[in-house]
Chain A
Amino acid sequence: MHVFTDPDNFDAYVSGFLWILKLTGASAVCALVIGVLLAAMRVSPVPVLRGFGAAWVNIFRNTPLTLVIFFCYFGLYATLGLSLSQDLDLNIYWLGVIGLSTYTAAFVCEAVRSGINTVPTGQAEAARAIGLSFAQTLRIVVLPQAARSVIAPLGSVLIALCKNATIVGTIGLLESSNIMKDLINSNGDAVIVIFLVFAGTFAALLIPTGYFFGWLANRLAVKR
C-alpha cells in the first residue's frame, strides 16, 4: 500500500475520482432532462418530433462513446472552435459532459419510453378524455406511473455513465483511469494493488447506487 501512503499519489487518486463524480453528476442531470424530452417526443402525436427522437437514439446509441468524445474535442473544440472555459481542464471537462450527456440521453430515452409503455393505455385515454393536454397527460398521469419501471433501468444507465466517464481521459482529463495509468507507470512493483484499489473504489461507489435504485423503485410502486 506504499503507493497510496505517498501524499502526492493519494491526492492524485482523490482528484481523479472527483473528476469522475463531477462528470457523472453534471452529465446525469443533462442526460435525464434531454432523455425525458426525447422520450416525450417519441410518444408524441407529432411525426417530426417522433422522427427527431428516433434519429437521436439511433445515432448516439449506435456510435461508440470514444468516437462521440473524440468528436467533442477534435470536432467541436479543435475544428469548430467551441471553447467552454479559459481553464484547460475545465474546457475538457465541459466537452466531456456534452459528449456523455448526448450519448447517455439516448439510453435514458429508451428506458423512459419502455417505462411509459408499461402504463396501460386506458390511463392516457382517461386523461385525454377529461381534457388534459398531451403534456399534462404525460406529466401528471403517465410519467409518475412509469416511474416504478423506469427507476431500476435508470439506475443501470447511471452506473454505466459513471464508468463511461473514464473515457473523457482519452481527451486529456486527469480522471481516475489516467491517474491509475500514471501510478502504474511509476510503480511497476504494485500493479495489482493499484488495479484493486481503483476497481474497488468504483465498486464501492456503484454497488450502493444499484441497491438504492432498487429500493427507490419499490417505494414508488403503484398498486393496480
Chain B
Amino acid sequence: MATGEPLIVLDSVNKWFGPLHVLDDVSLSVGRGEVVVVIGPSGSGKSTLCRTINRLEPINSGTITFNGRTLPAEGKALAKLRSEVGMVFQSFNLFAHKTILENVTLGPIKVRKDKPAAARERGLALLDRVGIANQADKYPAQLSGGQQQRAAIARALAMQPKAMLFDEPTSALDPEMVGEVLDVMTSLARDGMTMVVVTHEMGFARHAANRVIFMADGKLVEDAAPTEFFANPRSERAKDFLSKILTH
C-alpha cells in the first residue's frame, strides 16, 4: 500500500509522434509499494506511458519525477536511474548471445560493479525464485516464451530495482504460458514491489492491482480501485471497452 511521498510522479506529460498526440496531459502518481495496472484499447498510449518512466521514450512537455528527482537527460545520471527501475518488455528482449545466467548477472557486474561470484549466486537464487534455475546455462532461443519472460523478470530484479515496469509482459505468450508469468508477477506484488503494469489480463488487474488506470486516445480517462472500476466504470469509453472484452 502507498505510504509517504509517491515514488513515481507524472505531471502534465505530453508527447507527440509527429502529428499524433500519444500522451495528452497525463498526470499520475504511484506510491511506494503500489501496483498500478494500465489498461485501454490499442494505440491509447499505455505502452508509451510505461516507457516514458525510465525515459526509453523522451517526452515533449511536463515533468516526470522518480524517487523525488526529475528524470535526468541522457547520460550517466539517466543510466543510474534506469538501473533502479526494472523493465520487462513484451518481446522479452533477453540478450540473444548470452546464457540465461549471464543475462541475469550482466547488469549487476557491469553496472552495480558486484563481484562476479556474488552476482552469480544472487542470479541463481533469482532464477530459482522464478522457477527456471535448471535453465541457467541455456541460451534464450532454447527456452519457451514463458521461461524467457520469467528470465527477463529475474534479470530486472537482479538490479534490486525500486520499481518495476511491465510493458504487456504476457501479450507475446502462448495462452498456456501466461499463468506462469502472472504467478511470478503476483508474488512480486505481494512482496510489496512498486509496479506499473500495462496489460490486457483483467484477472491480474482484479486480484493484484491496487489501482486501475484506464487510457484512451492518449488521455488518462479513469483512475480507480479495481473493484470499483470493473463494477462501475464512469466513462462511456471504459464501459464500451469493458463490454467488449468481458463478454467473451
Residues of A within 8 A of B (CB): 45, 120, 122-123, 125-133, 136, 140-141, 144-145, 222-224
The answer to whether B76 and A130 have CB atoms under 8 Å apart is no
The answer to whether A128 and B111 have CB atoms under 8 Å apart is no
Contact with A along B81-93 (1 / 0, CB 8 A): 1111111010101
- 3 tightest Cβ-Cβ pairs between the two chains A and B: A131-B83, A130-B107, A126-B93
Say what secondary structure dominates the interface of chain A: helix
* Cross-interface CB contact of A123 among B86, B96, B156, cutoff 8 Å: B96
Tell me whether B244 is interfacial, beta carbon within 8 Å.
no
Which residues of chain B are near A133, meaning CB under 8 Å?
A: 76, 79
Q: Which chain B residues in 59-89 approach chain A with CB under 8 Å? A: 74, 76, 79-87, 89
Q: How many residues of B contact A (CB 8 A)?
A: 31
Q: Pick from A122, A131, A223 the residue with the most CB of B within 10 Å.
A: A131
The answer to whether B82 and A131 have CB atoms under 8 Å apart is yes
The answer to whether A144 and B97 have CB atoms under 8 Å apart is yes
The answer to whether B82 and A129 have CB atoms under 8 Å apart is yes
Q: Pick from A125, A144, A224 the residue with the most CB of B within 10 Å.
A: A125
Known: A122-B91, A123-B95, A145-B96. A132 touches B110 (CB 8 A): yes
Residues of B within 8 A of A (CB): 54, 56, 74, 76, 79-87, 89, 91, 93-97, 106-107, 110-111, 139, 141-142, 152, 155-156, 159
Which residues of chain A are near B82, meaning CB under 8 Å?
A: 128-131
* Cross-interface CB contact of A222 among B87, B97, B152, cutoff 8 Å: B97
Q: Pick from A45, A122, A129, A222 the residue with the most CB of B within 10 Å.
A: A129
The answer to whether B89 and A126 have CB atoms under 8 Å apart is yes
The answer to whether A131 and B93 have CB atoms under 8 Å apart is no
The answer to whether A122 and B89 have CB atoms under 8 Å apart is yes
The answer to whether A145 and B107 have CB atoms under 8 Å apart is no
Q: Pick from B85, B86, B93, B141 the residue with the most CB of A within 10 Å.
A: B93
The answer to whether B79 and A132 have CB atoms under 8 Å apart is yes
A56–B94 alpha-carbon span in the complex (Å): 34
Which residues of chain B are near A144, meaning CB under 8 Å?
A: 97
Name the CB-closest residue of B to A124: B93
Which residues of chain A are near B84, meaning CB under 8 Å?
A: 131
Which residues of chain A are near B85, meaning CB under 8 Å?
A: 129
The answer to whether A222 and B79 have CB atoms under 8 Å apart is no
The answer to whether A130 and B155 have CB atoms under 8 Å apart is yes
Q: Smallest CB–CB gap between A139 and chain B, Å? A: 10
* Cross-interface CB contact of A45 among B74, B81, B107, cutoff 8 Å: B74
Q: Pick from B91, B96, B139, B152 the residue with the most CB of A within 10 Å.
A: B96
The answer to whether B93 and A223 have CB atoms under 8 Å apart is no
Which residues of chain B are near A130, meaning CB under 8 Å?
A: 82-83, 87, 106-107, 111, 155-156, 159
The answer to whether A129 and B54 have CB atoms under 8 Å apart is yes
Supplied contacts A125-B93, A129-B85, A223-B139, 8 more A-B pairs, CB within 8 Å: A129-B86, A129-B87, A130-B111, A131-B84, A131-B159, A145-B95, A222-B97, A223-B96
The answer to whether B80 and A131 have CB atoms under 8 Å apart is yes
* Cross-interface CB contact of B89 among A45, A125, A132, cutoff 8 Å: A125
Which residues of chain A are near B139, meaning CB under 8 Å?
A: 223
The answer to whether B95 and A126 have CB atoms under 8 Å apart is yes
Q: Smallest CB–CB gap between A121 and chain B, Å? A: 9
Q: Smallest CB–CB gap between B54 and chain A, Å? A: 6
* Cross-interface CB contact of B110 among A128, A129, A140, cutoff 8 Å: A140
Q: Smallest CB–CB gap between A40 and chain B, Å? A: 15
- A to B CB contacts below 8 Å, 10 in the list: A122-B91, A128-B56, A130-B87, A130-B107, A130-B159, A131-B81, A131-B111, A132-B110, A136-B110, A145-B96
Which residues of chain B are near A126, meaning CB under 8 Å?
A: 87, 89, 93-95, 152, 155
Q: Smallest CB–CB gap between B116 and chain A, Å? A: 14
Known: A122-B89, A129-B54. A141 touches B95 (CB 8 A): yes
Q: Smallest CB–CB gap between B62 and chain A, Å? A: 21
The answer to whether A129 and B56 have CB atoms under 8 Å apart is yes
